[in-house]
Amino acid sequence: MNSILMAVIALGVIGLLAALLLYFASRKFAVHEDERIGQVSAVLPQANCGGCGFPGCAGFAGACVKATDEKGSLEGLLCPVGGQPVMEQVAGILGMTVEATAPKVAVVRCNGSCENRPRLVEYDGATSCKVQAMVGMGETGCSYGCFGCGDCVRQCQFGAIRINPETKLAEVDEEKCTACGACAKACPRGIIEIRLKGPKNRRMVVLCNNKDKGAIANKWCKASCIGCGKCVKACEKFEAITVTKNLAYIDAEKCKLCRKCEEACPKGAIHAINMPPRKPKADAPAAPKAENTPTTPNTQSSPITPKEQQ
Amino acid sequence: MENKLIVSLSPHVHGSDSVEKNMYGVCIALLPALIASFCFFGLGAVTVMLTSVLACVFFEWAITKFILKRDKLTILDGSAILTGLLLGFNLPSNLPIWIIILGALFAIGVGKMTFGGLGQNIFNPALAGRVFLLISFPVQMTSWTDNVLDHVDGYSGATPLALMQKAILEKDPSVLNNLPSSLDMFLGQTEGSMGEVSALLLLLGCAFMLWKKIITWHIPVSIILTVFVFAGLLHLLDPVYAAPLQVIFSGGLILGACYMATDYVTSPMSHKGQLIYGVAIGLLTVVIRNWGAYPEGMSFAIIIMNAFTPLINTYCKPKRFGEVVRKEAAK
Amino acid sequence: MKTFHIGGVHPEENKLSAGSPIREAKLPRQAVFSMFQHIGAPANPVVKRGDQVKVGTLLGEAGGFVSAPIYSSVSGKVSKVDVALDASGLRRMAVTVDVEGDEWEEGIDRTDTLVRLADRPELDGKTIVEKIKQAGIVGMGGATFPTHVKLCPPPGKKAECVIVNAVECEPYLTADHRLMLEKPEEILVGLQLVMKAVGVEKGYIGIENNKPDAIALMAEKANQYPGIEVVPLKVKYPQGGEKQLIDAVIGRQVPAPPALPIDTGAIVQNVGTCFAIYEAVMKNKPLIERIITVTGKSLSLPSNLKARLGTPFQQLIDECGGLPEDTGKVIGGGPMMGKALMSLDVPMTKGSSGLLVMKKDEARRSEPQPCIRCAKCVGACPMGLEPYLLAKVSEQFDWDAAEQNDITSCIECGSCQFTCPSHRTLLDHIRLGKSTVMGIIRSRSAK
C-alpha cells in the first residue's frame, strides 16, 4: 500500500512540475501573431503551392496583412489558385478592395507529338526533363520542344497537368489548372506559359517554342513555327502578333480571336482553343487548306511545305 | 522501324553489381551455419526455417500486390528470403508454427513494408520480428530443445547466457564453471537459437561476405572488439562476469555482429559512422546482457542503434578529399 | 605502388586497340569546325562563306583569355558559317569547309625529325606560352581547358612540378598509350617545354601499370632528360582525374573548391597535350589533328587513328570496319565520362579522345531499383562525398542541402553510378544538382 502511495505521489509531483514548466515555457516563448494573418490564412486554399510568390499560404497571408498596413492596398498580391473570389474574401477581412483580374491558365506551347516530331534517338536515363536537357537536344531534332519527362507534372499540386502517353507531350487540364505557375518554373525549356484564359476560355495560341531558323525548325517538326511572318501580315489590323527570334507570339491582350492567323499559318502552328468548329463552307477567301484546320491542339493538319522567308 | 541510338549521360558502363547479388550473397554466406543448425537441431530446425522463409516471402508478395498495389513484385530480389532466414536463425527450433508466421508477418508487414519496402525501413525487419516475438512470447522463445550433439550433461536447457546472468545475480563465480569451454562454444556445441550455435561457421560466412565485398569490416570488427575489451575489463575487475571469449562466442553475438548489424538499410553510411555504430552496439550488448532483464542483449542493442542511424548519418560525413592535406609523400 | 587515397573503382579495362599502331585517317570530304571546342568563351569565326583556306589557316579567333583559336585542318573552300550539330548534342556555331586537295600554310614543319630543347636555346618561357596560346592547344584528355591559362598561374601561386597525365584510366581508350609507344621523345621534349614555360625543374609522368611497355619505354628514354621521372601507378579509376593524379603522384590533395590544383604546386598536362605542345613550339604546327581511339567490342577493326579535327565520326567508324548492325550507343570519349552521340554526322573536336561503339545489350541501362543504402557509392566516391544523399536532395530540388554536402566538389567521374547495385541514376541527378548549385553560387557572388 505504502509503495503505491509513494508512486502516486511521486508521479503526481512530477506531473505537476512538468505542467508548471510547460505553462511558463508557453508564456515565455509565446509568439504574438497578428490575428488577421490567421483569419486570412483560413480563407486561402492551403495548397502551399507558392504560385503567389510567397513561401506557402501563411507567407502570403502575412504579406497581405503587411501590404495593408504599409501600403494601404493589396495591389500586386494575388492568390492564383483561389483567384478573384478568394481575393475578395481576403480584402473583406482586411477592409480593402481588390480590382478584378482576368483568369489565367497554363499553356504548353509545343505540339511536337511523336507523329509531328519523330524521335531520332532514345533517351535512357533519369526521368527528368532537367536531366535530359543536359544530354543535348533530347530525343528529337528540336532544341526547344517538350521532353515529355514530366518535371511539370511532379511540380503541379493540383493534378492539372499530365503527360499524354500517345503524344508524349504535357497536357493541361483547364478545369483543374489554377495558373499558379509551378509548371512554368519547372520546365527547363520555358515551354509553358501562364496565359490569359480569354473570353469564354477561347484563345489563340502559337503552339511552338522553336527559336531556330525556319529551315531547321521545319526539318525536324511538322508542327513547328518557322517564323515566316504570314500571321503577322494576317494580323495587321490588330497588331497582336510579333515574330522574335523566328518565333511568332500572339499578344492575348490585343488578340480579337478573328482566327485569320490560324488560316494564314502554313504549318498549322497557330491553334484556336475552345472555339466552335468552323462551318464546312468556311468563306475565308485566303485559306485554300482551311478544310482540315485544327480546332484542338491534338488534331493535326496535313503538313505543308513552307517557303522559307528568312 | 530504324535502329535508334540510345543517349544518356555518363557513365555508360556498370559494374554489374546488383541488389540480388548482394542479398543472395548473404544467403550463401549463411548456408554453412544453416546446414549445421539442421544437423544440431534436426527436423525441428528445418520446419522453423522453411516456415519462416516461406511466410516472409508470402507476406512480401501479398502486401506488395494487394495492399500497396504495385505492379512490380519484389519477392525475387532476395531481401524477403534473407529476412526469413535471419528471422529463422533467431528462433528456437521447437517454436510453434503459428508463432513463426506471426513473427514473419510483423517482420515484413510492420518492420519493412509500412515504411515503404526495401531500403526505407528504419529497423532491421528480422530483428523487429524477433524482438516482437521475444516480448510477446517470452516462454516459448526461450525454451530450447537439446542440442543433439550436446556434450554438457546436467545443464541441458540452460543456455550459456542464462548461466552468465545467473552468476551475476547470485554473485557466485562458480556457476560459470558449468559453462562449456570457449572452444566448444566456438565450434557450436551449446544451447540456443538456431543461429547462435556455431560461431565458427558464421565467421566463415562473414569471411565470404568480406571477400565478395558485400560488407566492409568496420561493423563486425568494431562490435566484436568492443565486446571483447568491455567484457574483458569486467572479467578482470570481478570474476562473476564471464571471460571475454565466452561472451563473444555465446548467444547471437556473432550472428548479430556479422549479419544483422551489417544490414545495409539500417546501418550508417560512412566508415566513421559505422565504427561509432559498432562500438555502441558492443557496449549496449554487454550492458543489457549483464544488467538487463533479458539474458540476450544483441537484438535490443542493434534495434536501439538502428534508431540512431539517421542521426549518425547526419553527423558523420566521410572524410572529404583535400580535407586533410597530407604530408608530402614525394620529396 | 602509388595510387590516390580515397575511393575509386575498377571497371573492366577492355583495351582492345592497345596493340594496333596509329594509322593516319583519310582526309574528309567536308570538315566541320565547331567554335565550341574548349571550355570558356567560344571562338569567333573570322572567315566567311566562299573563302579559300589552307591547312593551318585561322578559322576562329579566341573569344577571350579563357578561350582558344581554331585552325583549319584541311584545305578548301568555306561553304558555311552557321550553326551545326556538334558532339555535345547541341546546335552551335561552326565553320564548314569543303575539302579540295591538301595544301598547307607555309612555315609548318611536316617532317618527323626530332627537335630537342637544346637545338632551340633561344626559347624562353614567355615565348613558349605565347606559342601554345597561338596554336590553340587545349587539354586533350577530354576536359579541353585552354592550356595557356593553366600555364599562367594566378599571382601568388607558384608551380613546383609538372605532372604528365599518362594514366588513361578510361576503359577502352588507348590513344595515349600508343602515342607514348610511338612518340616517346617528342612527349618528353613537350614536357621539358612545359617545365621551362612555368619555370620548374621537376617533371613526373604518371602511368598506370596496365601499360608496362609504355612504362619501360618512357623510363628508358627519360634517363636522358634530367628532372623527369616516370611514376608507375596502381590501376584504379578515376586516376586520370587531375586531383586524383596529383594525390597519387606527389601525395598532396587539392583542397575543396574554390581552391585550384595549382595550390598544391602541381601543373597537370595530358600526354596528348604534351605532344601537341611539342609540335606547336618546335614544328610551328597549330592543333589541327589528334590521336583518337575508335573501338568497341562489336567493331571489326578497333584502331588508333591520327585524324584531322573536323572529320565526321561516321567516316572514322567506316575506316574501322563500319558501324555494326546491333549498335545501341555511340560514345564520344570513354565509357565512364564520355558523351553519347545523337548522330554520327558530328565532327571530332580537340577533346575527342575516343569513339566507342556499344552493342544494344551493353548500351541499355538496367532499371533502377530502390536505394538499399549499402553505402557502396560512398566507398567508391574518390572525392569522399555521399552520392546517395546528393542524388536524393537533387531529385527533391533541395539545393541548400546539396550545397552543404559539398556537391560542387563532385568531379562527375561516375564511380558511384558504376558501383550502385540498385542501378540508380545517381550521377544524372548529381550533375543536375551540381550545375544548379554552381549557378546559385555564381549569381550570389555576382551580387
A301 φ, ψ (degrees, to nearest 5): -80, 160
pLDDT value, residue A79? 84
Residue A307 has pLDDT above 60, yes or no: no
Residue A230 has pLDDT above 80, yes or no: yes
Go through A77-92 and write b for each residue having 16 or more CB atoms within 10 A of its CB, e for each that does not: bbbbbbbeebbbbbbe
* Residue that finishes a domain, picked among B112, B141, B170: B141
Which candidate in A117, A121, A128 is best for mutational testing of the B interface (most B CBs within 10 A)?
A121
Question: For residue B22, which residues of chain C lie inside 8 Å, CB to CB?
Answer: 372, 374, 421
Residue A308 has pLDDT above 70, yes or no: no
Give tens-digit pLDDT for C267-296. Answer: 999 999 999 999 999 999 999 999 999 999
Q: Is A120 at the interface with chain B, CB within 8 A?
A: yes
Q: Give the CB-side neighbour count of residue B181, counting CA atoms within 13 A.
A: 4
- Alpha-carbon Rg for chain A in angstroms: 27
Q: How many CB atoms within 10 Å of residue B312?
A: 20
B153 φ, ψ (degrees, to nearest 5): -85, 155
Residue A297 has pLDDT above 50, yes or no: no
Contact A139 B6 (CB under 8 A): no
> Does one domain contain both B182 and B38?
no
- Report d(CA C164, CA C267) in Å as an integer: 8
Contact B7 A122 (CB under 8 A): yes
- Report d(CA A139, CA A122) in Å as an integer: 6
Average pLDDT of chain A to the nearest whole number: 83
Which candidate in B3, B8, B13 is best for mutational testing of the A interface (most A CBs within 10 A)?
B8
ipTM for this model = 0.86
Question: For residue C342, which residues of chain A lie inside 8 Å, CB to CB?
Answer: 120-121, 136-137
Between A280 and C60, residue with greater pLDDT: C60
Q: Is C412 at the interface with chain A, CB within 8 A?
A: no
Question: Of the candidates C31, C6, C9, which has an alpha carbon nearest to the alpha carbon of residue C348?
Answer: C31
> Does one domain contain both B165 and B58?
no
End-to-end C-alpha distance for chain A, whole angstroms: 101
Which grid cell is A3? 509503495
In-domain check, residue B84: yes
Which grid cell is B106? 510483423
Residue B43 in contact with residue B204, Cβ under 8 Å? no
> Subunits touching B (CB < 8 Å, at least 3 pairs)?
A, C
Residue B234 in contact with residue B222, Cβ under 8 Å? no
Beta strands in C181-322 (DSSP E): 202-208, 228-233, 266-270, 289-295, 303-308
Q: Is A127 at the interface with chain B, CB within 8 A?
A: no
Go through C136-171 and write b for each residue having 16 or more CB atoms within 10 A of its CB, e for each that does not: bbbbbbbbbbbbbbbbebeeeeebebbbbbbbbbbb
Contact C90 A128 (CB under 8 A): no
DSSP SS3 for A76: coil
Give tens-digit pLDDT for C147-168. Answer: 999 998 888 888 899 999 999 9
> Does one domain contain both B166 and B135?
no
Residue A137 has pLDDT above 50, yes or no: yes
Question: For residue C333, which residues of chain B lie inside 8 Å, CB to CB?
Answer: 10
> Does one domain contain both B72 and B171?
no
- Report d(CA C253, CA B323) in Å as an integer: 8
- Return residues 8-47 of B near A (CB < 8 Å): 8-9
Least confident of A90-94, B97-101, B254-258, C183-187: A90-94
- Report d(CA C373, CA B267) in Å as an integer: 8
- Report d(CA B6, CA C331) in Å as an integer: 10
B200 Cβ contact list (under 8 Å, min separation 6): B186, B187, B188
Contact A124 B9 (CB under 8 A): no
Query: Is residue C248 within a helix (H) or strand (E), and if so which, with residue range?
Result: helix C242-250
Residue C419 has pLDDT above 50, yes or no: yes
Least confident of B65-74, C134-143, C272-281, C299-308: B65-74
Name the CA dihedral angle for C364, C366, C367, C369, rounded to a multiple of 10 degrees: -160
Cβ contacts from B onto C, under 8 A: 178
CA-to-CA separations, C274 to A233, B302, C128, C277, C400, in angstroms, rounded: 59, 56, 12, 5, 41
In-domain check, residue B71: yes
Tell me the pairing of strands A203-206 and A270-273: antiparallel
- Report d(CA B316, CA B313) in Å as an integer: 5
In-domain check, residue B1: no
Rounded to a whole number of angstroms, the distance from the CA of B3 to the nearest CA of chain A is: 9
- Report d(CA C261, CA C145) in Å as an integer: 13
> Does one domain contain both B129 and B223?
no
- Report d(CA A61, CA A65) in Å as an integer: 6
Domain total in chain B: 2
Mean pLDDT across C25-54: 93
Contact A124 C89 (CB under 8 A): no
- Report d(CA C244, CA C251) in Å as an integer: 9
Residue A204 in contact with residue A242, Cβ under 8 Å? no
Contact A131 B9 (CB under 8 A): yes
> Subunits touching A (CB < 8 Å, at least 3 pairs)?
B, C
Q: Which of C328, C343, C374 sits opposite B22 (nearest CB)?
A: C374
> Does one domain contain both B59 and B98?
yes
Cis peptide bond N-terminal to C232, omega within 30: no
> Subunits touching C (CB < 8 Å, at least 3 pairs)?
A, B
Residue C182 has pLDDT above 70, yes or no: yes
Residue C417 in contact with residue C43, Cβ under 8 Å? no
- Alpha-carbon Rg for chain C in angstroms: 21
The separation between CA A141 and the C-alpha centre of its own chain, rounded to angstroms, equals 25
> Does one domain contain both B167 and B290?
yes
Domain range enclosing B91: 19-141
Task: Locate the domains of chain A by residue range.
Answer: 35-94, 104-292
> Does one domain contain both B122 and B264?
no
In-domain check, residue B323: no
Which grid cell is A26? 508557453
pLDDT value, residue B153? 41
In-domain check, residue B11: no
Contact A139 B7 (CB under 8 A): yes
DSSP tag of B195: G
Rounded to a whole number of angstroms, the distance from the CA of A173 to the nearest CA of chain C is: 25
Which candidate in B4, B5, B7, B14 is best for mutational testing of the A interface (most A CBs within 10 A)?
B7
Least confident of A97-106, A255-264, C174-183, C271-280: A97-106
Question: Of the candidates C237, C234, C230, C227, which has an alpha carbon nearest to the alpha carbon of residue C215?
Answer: C230
Residue A296 has pLDDT above 70, yes or no: no
- Report d(CA B28, CA C405) in Å as an integer: 37
In-domain check, residue B12: no
- Report d(CA A266, CA A226) in Å as an integer: 9
Rounded to a whole number of angstroms, the distance from the CA of C300 to the nearest CA of chain A is: 24
Contact B4 A121 (CB under 8 A): yes
Contact A123 B7 (CB under 8 A): yes
Give tens-digit pLDDT for C83-112. Answer: 898 888 888 999 999 999 888 988 888 888
Q: Is B177 at the interface with chain A, CB within 8 A?
A: no
Mean pLDDT across C322-333: 90
Rounded to a whole number of angstroms, the distance from the CA of C365 to the nearest CA of chain A is: 7
Question: For residue B312, which residues of chain C lie inside 8 Å, CB to CB?
Answer: none
pLDDT value, residue B145? 63
Contact B8 A125 (CB under 8 A): yes
* Residue that finishes a domain, picked among B141, B174, B189: B141
Rounded to a whole number of angstroms, the distance from the CA of C350 to the nearest CA of chain B is: 19
Chain C's closest residue to B325, CA to CA, is C253
Enumerate domains of chain C plus CATH numbers: 25-104+290-362 (3.10.20.600), 117-282 (3.40.50.11540), 376-446 (no CATH)
Mean pLDDT by 10 residues, chain B (331 residues): 79 90 92 87 88 94 88 83 92 89 94 89 93 89 62 51 81 78 72 74 92 93 95 91 86 89 93 95 93 85 94 91 55 34
> Does one domain contain both B26 and B79?
yes
Q: Which of A130, A131, A135 sits opposite C89 (nearest CB)?
A: A135
Class in CATH terms, A35-94? mainly alpha
Architecture of domain A104-292: 2-Layer Sandwich (3.30)
Go through B182-210 and write b for each residue having 16 or more CB atoms within 10 A of its CB, e for each that does not: bebbbbbbbbbbbbbbbbbbbbebbebbb
Cβ contacts from A onto C, under 8 A: 47
Rounded to a whole number of angstroms, the distance from the CA of A79 to the nearest CA of chain B is: 35
In-domain check, residue B298: yes
